[in-house]
Each structure stands twice: as C-alpha cells, then as structure tokens.
Amino acid sequence: MLKIKISKIKFFLVSFIVLLNLQTNSISQTVPSSFADLAEKLMPSVVNISTTTIIKTQSNQFPFQFPPGSPFEDMFKEFGTPKERKSAALGSGFIIDEKGIVVTNNHVIQDAEDIIIRVNGDKEFKAKVIGADPLSDIALLQLETKEKFIPVKFGDSDKARIGDWVIAIGNPFGLGGTVTSGIISARNRSIGLSRYEDYIQTDASINSGNSGGPLFDMNGDVIGINTAILGRSGSIGIGFSIPSNSAKLVINQLIEFGETKRGWLGVRIQDVTKEIAEVEKLDEPRGALVASVAEGSPSFKGGIKAGDIILEFDGQKIKEMKELPIIVARTKVGKKVELKVWRNKKQISKTITLGRLETSKDFKVAEKNVPSKELLIDNLKITVRKLSKEDIKSRKLPNQSTGLVITKIENDSPLINSVEVNSVIIEAQKKKIRNIDDLNQAVKQVLSSNQKTILLVIYNSENQRRYIGVKLD
C-alpha cells in the first residue's frame, strides 16, 4: 500500500515538472534570443536621408545713417542686406516599392532644396518629393534611378498589442544602420503635435535622426513610422510612431493623387466632461461635443447643431473626442454616413454627406481689445464687459452675437481652470446672455438647485465656440 502511494507521488511530481517545463518553454519562445537575422533581412530596405535647406537671414541693421559720399558708407553698406546660408538635416526612411519609393516624415524633407538618400550604407541617390502631408507628417519620395530595390511591407498596426516586441532601424545622429529594440509601451497616444494623433508609444530607443524610420514587428512588417520623442535631450525610453494603418491611407492617396483627400464634417468639437454629461443627462462622459458648426458645411446641411454630442459615426462608437477627427479623415469624401447624436437628452440620427477637408474654409482668428465699462460678477469672481459691435467685427463673430467679454479672472474663481481672459460668455444654462443680469440670474438659478453645475457656452480667445461645465460651490 505504501509503495502504491509513493508511486502516485512520484507520478504527480514528474507530471508537474513536465508541465512546468512546457509552460516555461512556451513563454521563452515569445522572447527573441537574437534580432540578428531579422535586422540583417531588413537593413537593405531602410535608408538614411540628408537634406539641404537654404535659409534667408537679415543681417543686423546698423543704427546710424551716413550722408552720400561718406567714407563710412561703403564700409557699412552690407548692414541690413539679406543673407543666405545652407542648413543640413538628417532623417530616416524606408523603401516600399522596388522602383525606389521611400516613406519618411514630412518634417524631415520640408522646404528642402536637395534630398540625398543613402541606401544600404554606401549607395547615394538624389530624390524628389512625390507628395507630402503636413497634417499627418508623412512624405513620399522617389529615388532618381532605374535601379531595383528591396521593399518592406506594412503590417496591421491594429493587431499590435501592448508588450509586443518591436525593433527600430534608422539614422540617429547620422549613425546610419542603427538597430534598437523594445516593446510597445502604449497605444492611441496624443501628444499635441497634430489633429490626427493615434501614436504607438515604444521604449525602443529613438533619437534625433530616427524620424521617418520604420518600427518593425517580429514578422519584419512595418507597424509604425517613428516620428517623435519625449524630451529634446535624446531618448529617455519614450518614442512615438504613426500607426501603419493610418499611414497607409495617406500613402495610397499620395501615390494616386499626389495629395490627400480627407473627409470633412465641418464642426469644431470638444471633450464631454463629467459636468457636461451630468447636465445633459448622458449616462457617462463619452462622444464628441459639437462646439460650433461651420456655415454651409456638410454638418450644417445635415442638421447638426451646436450642443449636439456625436456618439457614433458611420457605425463606429465615439468614446473620446479625439477619435472622431481620425475616423472622419479616414472616410471617403462624398460618402453618406449616419451619425447618432445626443440632443435634448435623447438620441437621434442624422445623415451627412462628407465634404473634403483640404478644400474647406478654415476658421479665421482675429483679435482686438476694445475698452468699455467693466463690472464684477461676484458669484463667479470674474470681471466682464458687454460684447460690442467692434468686438464682433474684429473677431469675426456671427453678426447677431450677444454676450460678455471676460477681462479678469480671480485666482479663487470657479472658472479659473476652465476659461481664459478675452473669452466671451454667450450662453448660460442654454439661454442667451445679453447682459450681466442674464448671467447673474443663471448663476442664482444653479446655486439654488441641487445640481450646482452651470453650463456655459463661450468663444475662447481664439474665437472658437466651446461648452464649459463648471461646479459652483
């Protein structure tokens, strides 16, 4: 009997050890023992880029003038005359077609007079720009040669997961053919560089000169274009790459048209804060709040109004405001799309035919201070003056605009972190503000309620229409 028990224990231990080894082997298989084979395969497709830009400068103007014929006239005649100098810059890129089509960042080649591409460490070729898109910071170059090259292909960046291994190859500080490795640290990052931000964050070392280079997955597919680093002193383990799925849309349009054709709604949007969601009786802060609608835009024609909260676009739910511009830009111009909108505490649907962003009218900003009588709003601890006709004209606001211009904000004001001086309060609690009495009445109404949150509509200092939800104590 004892022998049987010992045999069972031995069997259990052996089984446990075998299982543990299998699990260990399974985990170890996901950790590359070396990147050498992969790097060797990919290096010929990664290029080094050097550019030359002509910069015009103005020499210092000499503070004195000399009479005609003065001996000092010739000595100082060059003061104040324009000068030209050459500026060199370095970057990276990668080949996506055997005919020598190269992808890089727009900021690498912007305003360049000459572009030189070095392939495989030794061969140099001149290149010309096929097309460039400053909004996404992507440029497409063509090598001026008939030689054939080894291209790389794009992977599916949507399948990339946080923690996946990646390698970056580029030209940091002019050190071409540099390979670094790391993991995907985060997804869907915004760092304030452009309106279309959906960066992959990586701890693979990226430095000055890596811009435009590829970020590869372990299959050797490009899942990102290395674009930015956090900090100016060099790599601190936080770099950002444009996802390949976003880049491919831009690149395909640059190849086909030489330019981009993005979808356009014609709205200015902002985040839905907890306070705004509370006022609008929305279950949670989500979607994109329409701050203003451009006259004659697709949204204007489709019945979208300021104050609407866009919850869904063409079947895609909008969790955060920043998602909407990216989704709209990816949608084909002229397509009819359905929007699900939160309005008056209920969901409605609107159908919009998308326009083209590149041909739309941008909002123009103009600013001019016009003095007038200023008064203090005690409960808000702000000083305001009435919006004048001169304000409306100089700031190019709608002709029938009414409101109050904020001229001072006290440090203990509940609005201190929400608005800035020169903002114009045009609505409070969804009622137009014509004078100070209107605003005071709205504030008293909120303070006497259980909600204690006031919903303001303003034009900020850049003349953009915004919704602000503020708690009043």
The reported pLDDT for the residue numbered 35 is 93
Question: What mean pLDDT is predicted for residues 416-422?
Answer: 88
Residue 420 burial (CB < 10 Å; 0-12/13-18/19+)? Answer: middle
Residue 68: the pLDDT is 56
- Return the SS3 of 165: strand
The answer to whether residue 39 scores a pLDDT higher than 90 is yes
Q: Are 423 and 413 in contact (CB under 8 A)?
A: no
For residues 285 and 277, the answer to whether their CB atoms sit within 8 Å is: yes
Helix axes 323-330, 244-257, angle to 10 degrees: 40
Active-site option among 50, 107, 203, 418: 107
Give the pLDDT of residue 370.
39
Give Cβ neighbours of residue 370 (< 8 Å, ≥ 6 apart): 388, 390, 391, 394
Average pLDDT over residues 174-183: 92
In a 13 Å sphere around the CA of 393, the CA atoms on its Cβ side amount to 4
More confident residue, 311 or 236: 311
Query: What are the structure tokens assigned to 371, written together?
Result: 């003095």
pLDDT of 5 over the 80 cut: no
**pTM of this prediction exceeds 0.75:** no
Give the pLDDT mean for 138-167.
Answer: 95
Q: Is the dihedral of CA 365, 368, 373, 378 positive or negative?
A: positive
Which is higher by pLDDT, 69 or 469? 469
Give CA 122 to chain center in angstroms: 36
The torsion defined by the Cα of 228, 231, 237 and 239, in degrees rounded to 10, comes to -10
368: Cα separation from own chain's centroid? 29
- Whether residue 16 is predicted with pLDDT greater than 70 in this model: the reply is no
Q: How many Cα atoms are found within 13 Å in the side-chain-facing hemisphere of 471?
A: 7
The mean of the pLDDT values for the chain is 84
* Active-site position among 45, 92, 133, 137: 137
Tokens 């103009």, residue located: 366
Domains and CATH numbers, the chain: 41-143 (2.40.10.10), 157-257 (2.40.10.10), 264-359 (2.30.42.10), 374-471 (2.30.42.10)
Q: Is 107 a catalytic residue?
A: yes
Which residue of the set 211, 299, 413, 418 is catalytic? 211
Residue 137 appears among annotated catalytic residues: yes
User: For residue range 428-454, what is the model confidence (pLDDT) as tens digits?
Assistant: 988 889 888 889 888 888 888 877 889
Position 73 pLDDT exceeds 80: no
Q: What is the pLDDT of residue 54?
A: 66
pLDDT at 192: 73
Q: How confident is the model at residue 25 (pLDDT cuts 50, 70, 90)?
A: very low
Quick one: average pLDDT of 451-464?
A: 88
Sort 74 into a burial class: Cβ within 10 Å, 0-12 / 13-18 / 19+: exposed
Q: 422: which residues sit within 8 A by CB, 6+ positions away?
A: 367, 369, 405, 406, 407, 461
Percent of the chain whose predicted confidence (pLDDT) is above 70: 83
What is the arithmetic mean of pLDDT over 234-239? 80
Position 246 scores a pLDDT of 92
Is residue 52's pLDDT more than 90? Answer: no
Q: Quickly state the pLDDT bin for 403 (edges 50, 70, 90).
A: very high
Note the pLDDT of residue 152: 97
What is the per-residue pLDDT across 329-380, written as a single tens digit (0 to 9) for each? 999 999 999 999 999 999 999 999 999 988 886 433 323 343 457 788 888 8
Q: What is the mean pLDDT of residues 291-310?
A: 94
